[in-house]
Structure 1
Amino acid sequence: MIIDIQLRMRFFESDHACVQFFAETGFPCPSRRNPSDHFLRCVNSDFDDVAATMKGSMKLRAEAELDPLLKYSTSEIRERLVDKYRISDYAMMVRSTIHEITKIEGVMEDVIRGSQASWLKQLRTLTSRSFTNMSRDLNYYWLRIIIYIVMAICLGTIYYDVGTSYTAIQARASCGGFVSGFMTFMSIGGFPSFIEEMKVFTLERQNGHYGVAAYIISNFLSSMPFLLAVSWASASITYWMVKFRPGFSYFAFFALNLYGGVSVIESLMMIISALVPNFLMGLILGAGVIGIMMLTSGFFRLLPELPKIFWRYPVSYIVYGSWGLKGGYKNDLIGLEFEPMMPGQPKLTGEYIITEMMGLSLNHSKWLDLAMIFVLLFAYRLTFFVVLKVKEAAAPYIRVAYTRFTVKRLERRASFRKTLAMASMSKRHNPPHPMAIQEGLSSPMPY
């Protein structure tokens, strides 16, 4: 009630009116004391300890004649202030002012939670802001584009004009495996930016500025131009230097296949950034997960030869690498003929290489393999949405559990128990000596 009195008078009246009210109640502010300190002295019970410490001293009796606060306890001062305020003109004026404010059109008494912007407005604003941040941060995408271009040049020079000889079969497969595996693996370089972005998202989400879905979609839309630039720039260099099958449709598939793999890895790292507490742990976890994806893609060991339980079904079906590699093989090999291992033997067709040498099926088109990558991309983004929602709902329980665990761990330490015991003894046997009783101070709260 006392705090309510002070706040109401501070907001609706001048400082002079507040000082006048306390004076009318019988507690005037001394001329050399700060009014805020005087108000605090009236309502804070901690100063009762000061009076108790000085009880019986000649100095206290002398000051009591000048300072009426020393004659009463804090509880008595509070009661007098409350009783006086209830029947004062100040209370009537405050109630009248509040009543007039509530009649103003557009003023709402209830607290409005969350953002008042529409979902589309949130999406547009977040997309624009995220795109601006990505454009200005050289380490976010620009440096990665340069690294991808350099890597594409290196790859193109190593496999330059690979041809259609018998040894070119393994060379083409290796080049495709590197593109679908290691070139997408380099997307892990964006993880530090994801960690920083998650900090901003957590703070803004707690304030209710926007929804989780708007954030995820905006991040995908704002990153799309940069990822397309990464994939198309890399594909343009590698595809024409290696001299894969000529034709724009084949090149477009190659670039989209790379874009899908990079986007899936970005989504995976965003999931990890929402789960781990720091950069180092996320980097280690992300590298491990991507390594497992590469092992089950069908390059290091053919898909039919993977252990059927777990690795073949379902792992190879839920990782992007197997679909990207199968689609890449079909895009590059179908329709080509390669020289046989021994001269005089019939040439090897691309279909034969895919089915017999790689153990893959031609029952569906390469476009279905590409479509499955984008299905996985959607599934990973949906998983990211679920993770953020679950984390948001479980955050209070996690904090409570972590606090209890920390307290129990500290209680088991002998040094911590000793510190608590010493603090308890110090508080019991050594009462504090406030600065107010030191020589030269005329009151508990001097100006």
Structure 2
Amino acid sequence: MTNKSSGTSSINGEKSDGLGNSQHRTSDPSPPIVDLELNRVRSFHLINDVVHSFAWNQLNVQVKDRKTKRPLSILDSSNGIVHAGEMLAIMGPSGSGKTTLLNALAHRAAAAGATTTGNVLANGHIIGLQKLRELSSYVEQEDALIGSLTVRETVQFAASVALSSTTSKRKRVQRVDDLIARFGLQEQSHTIVGTPIKKGLSGGQKKRLGVASRLVTDPKVLFLDEPTSGLDSALSFEVMNYIKVVAKRHNLIIIASIHQPSSSTFKLFDKLCLLSKGKTCYFGPIDQGLGYFSSIGYQIPFETNPAEFYLDLINTDLIREGNDVFSRVQDITHNWPRSSTASQLQKDIEKSIADAKSAGNVFDLSNIKPQKANPWSIPVVLAHRSWIKAYRDIVVYGIRIIMYLGLAILMGTIFLRLKGTQDDIQPFINAIFFGSAFMSFMAVAYVPAFLEDLHTFNKERANGLVGPLAFSVANFIVGLPFLFIIAFLFSLVAYFLIGFQQTGTAFFKFTLWIFLDLVAAESLVVLVSVLFNIFVVALAVAALVNGLWMGVSGFLVPLNGLNPFWKYAFHYIDYQAYAFQGMMVNEFKDRVYDCAGLAQDGYHCMFSSDLNAVGKIRGSAVLENFGIGLSGEKVWVGLIIAIIAGYRILAYLVLRLRKN
């Protein structure tokens, strides 16, 4: 709490100068790196000391039991309070409720179908979802970093979507530079994060970058879900040590779920929340935990890591009713709410509420209006970021360009130099269908790249930075030039090898139909991936729908012979059908083909037309056989554009309606 007469505050034995700069005593046991970092240049202040305390009272989370269908408690009567400058470790064995508590505190869905009750408070006032998003950031266990961006670009783009447009360019650069420096990433500033093809940062550096990119948003509370997962003890200490530096220096509240930390990492935390099966086993200062457990009859063995001792004590992974472990955990969870430590915790929470009431609006955060980025600038920022990823990461479009060029060469050599005779009419039709259908089908290769973008969007949206409209617009715009390049290169190779109508107008119309087909196919992939955001499922569904569109496009079964159900239910919303029809008209409308046979023996023409008598077939006769009109090109272009818009709007609506 703040001492108003002296203008200083005390946090765990440390004095603060009131500006968020801690003044350590000479006996401070912090690791050497912390002391070095705290003594560095202090000209940049990441946050103001706005949130003095963050607490929760009688927090409960219930789900419906799958077997009994009755309410099942996965977090029971959890209480806690953390003050500015403190780091809290939420610990417990697997399934103890660590992530459930963290999500509940962050006002996120604690679990699928969960019901959360209780109060989350900041400065003694109940804080809602929107305000908490404005004042906090959440770093997921799985980072949302874009592998093709450099360290500097990652932090710069995070700043661009978070900082107000009134923030000067100089201040933005300073903030980015200071964050990179604070987390020891100066030497990696121009190193990419790393992709499956190109190696970049180490695991520890990625974790530090993930936290740094969240701190650029000026949070007062930082939630960390398993920040040391996948790291060895040395890297775990490195990551948490840098976080501690920032927390102490800027009076930041850190709440982290963590699993089996080393003793050195564990000692970096100020407070511990120990959970087992959703019940609290202990909440309080790290250095008082052993004393508490000793007082209820559980003494730590000699030369044992306290973190390992706590987890072994309450580990329920192999619990069976009636054995010693079951009895011990029951005893511990039974003792906690009756302990003086729990009583003191409740008093601290009540005192923070009472202080807030007596102070009036002094500590009320509802009146704080944090500056935000201009919403019109966010799609531009996202488009810029996506553009860099698209041309730099070969997985996004590079591999697809190679795939489509391979298809063009394949088609061009299979249907090589078709002639203007009736024997080549069917091969021409086959080439048109094969090109449009398989170009569309191969768009499923976009699924992994889009899911990565969607994963990043979900993380940024959950932190209140990016909305579904900005994401949808940026994703659509960035893809257009690359899809046009693919369509043009494919046409350039396949069109002339096959021997389609040799005019410039026909070539560019062919390219247009391929381009529209690709844009529609990618839009379908986006919709399917938003609906089914699991790679294998999205891939399977997109392939299935493309198979359906092939079947009802009018090639395998001509439109005049197509079953009425498939015709009226699906054909008229099939973009492949309109692309196929447009390419057919482009090829056959103005062409004439030779019939088989000689004049003296009589001509044998496959299609009936007014030129049969002279051994010719009008291309329009081929179109008539397929039930394709000659004057529908503009309508078909409009319908494909409408289908593209429909897919994109539906994808946007799904994103908008889906809860975080």
| TM-score bracket, shorter-length normalisation | 0.5 to 0.7
Task: Give the structure 1 partner of residue 367 of structure 2.
Answer: 110
2:394 alignment partner, one of 119, 126, 138: 138
1:377 matches 2:644:
yes
Deviations 1:56-90 (A, max 9, x none): xxxxxxxxxxxxxxxx955886899999999xxxx
Output the CA distance in 2 between the equivalents of 1:381 and 1:281: 20
* AA matched with 1:350: G
1:207 alignment partner, one of 439, 446, 463: 463
* AA matched with 2:419: G
| 3-state SS in 2 of match to 1:312 | helix
Output the CA distance in 2 between the equivalents of 1:80 and 1:41: 15
* AA matched with 1:272: V
Task: Give the structure 1 partner of residue 250 of structure 2.
Answer: none
Equivalent residues in 2 for 1:241-260, closer than 5 Å: 241-260=497-516
Task: Give the structure 1 partner of residue 628 of structure 2.
Answer: 360
Change (3 A) 1:110 1:157: same
Q: Percent identity?
A: 24
Q: Larger C-alpha radius of gyration, 1 or 2?
A: 1
Change (3 A) 1:337 1:74: closer
Output the CA distance in 1 between the equivalents of 2:645 and 2:529: 18
Equivalent residues in 2 for 1:210-289, closer than 5 Å: 210-289=466-545
* AA matched with 1:275: L
CA contact (8 A) 1:164 1:337 kept: yes
Output the CA distance in 1 between the equivalents of 2:474 and 2:368: 28
CA contact (8 A) 2:420 2:593 kept: yes
| 3-state SS in 2 of match to 1:110 | coil
CA contact (8 A) 2:457 2:466 kept: no
Output the CA distance in 1 between the equivalents of 2:562 and 2:531: 30
Task: Give the structure 2 partner of residue 25 of structure 1.
Answer: none
| 3-state SS in 2 of match to 1:12 | strand
Deviations 1:328-356 (A, max 9, x none): 1101111111112444442110111111x
Task: Give the structure 2 partner of residue 338 of structure 1.
Answer: 593
CA contact (8 A) 1:42 1:77 kept: no
Equivalent residues in 2 for 1:164-179, closer than 5 Å: 164-179=420-435
Change (3 A) 1:79 1:202: closer
How far residue 136 of structure 1 moved from its aligned partner, in angstroms, is 1.4
Output the CA distance in 2 between the equivalents of 1:180 and 1:312: 19
Task: Give the structure 2 partner of residue 190 of structure 1.
Answer: 446
Aligned residues: 342
Task: Give the structure 1 partner of residue 263 of structure 2.
Answer: none
How far residue 131 of structure 1 moved from its aligned partner, in angstroms, is 0.7
CA contact (8 A) 1:327 1:367 kept: no
Change (3 A) 1:111 1:44: farther
CA contact (8 A) 1:194 1:270 kept: yes
* AA matched with 1:349: R
Task: Give the structure 2 partner of residue 438 of structure 1.
Answer: none
Change (3 A) 1:118 1:153: same
CA contact (8 A) 1:156 1:237 kept: yes
Task: Give the structure 2 partner of residue 307 of structure 1.
Answer: 563
Task: Give the structure 1 partner of residue 618 of structure 2.
Answer: 349
How far residue 291 of structure 1 moved from its aligned partner, in angstroms, is 0.4
CA contact (8 A) 1:296 1:316 kept: yes
CA contact (8 A) 2:2 2:10 kept: no
How far residue 244 of structure 1 moved from its aligned partner, in angstroms, is 1.5
5+ residue gaps in structure 1? 19-31, 55-71, 103-107, 396-447
Which is helix-richer, 1 or 2? Answer: 1
How far residue 314 of structure 1 moved from its aligned partner, in angstroms, is 2.8
CA contact (8 A) 1:354 1:361 kept: yes
* AA matched with 1:359: G
Output the CA distance in 1 between the equivalents of 2:458 and 2:529: 12
* AA matched with 1:354: L
* AA matched with 2:491: A
Change (3 A) 1:231 1:11: farther
Equivalent residues in 2 for 1:6-45, closer than 5 Å: 12-13=9-10, 40=284
Change (3 A) 1:44 1:140: same
5+ residue gaps in structure 2? 16-28, 30-266, 272-282, 299-338, 604-611
| 3-state SS in 2 of match to 1:181 | helix
Deviations 1:126-160 (A, max 9, x none): 00001111111111111111121122122112222
Change (3 A) 1:247 1:109: same
How far residue 281 of structure 1 moved from its aligned partner, in angstroms, is 1.4
| 3-state SS in 1 of match to 2:658 | helix
Change (3 A) 1:44 1:270: same
Change (3 A) 1:246 1:74: closer
How far residue 168 of structure 1 moved from its aligned partner, in angstroms, is 1.3
1:326 matches 2:581:
yes
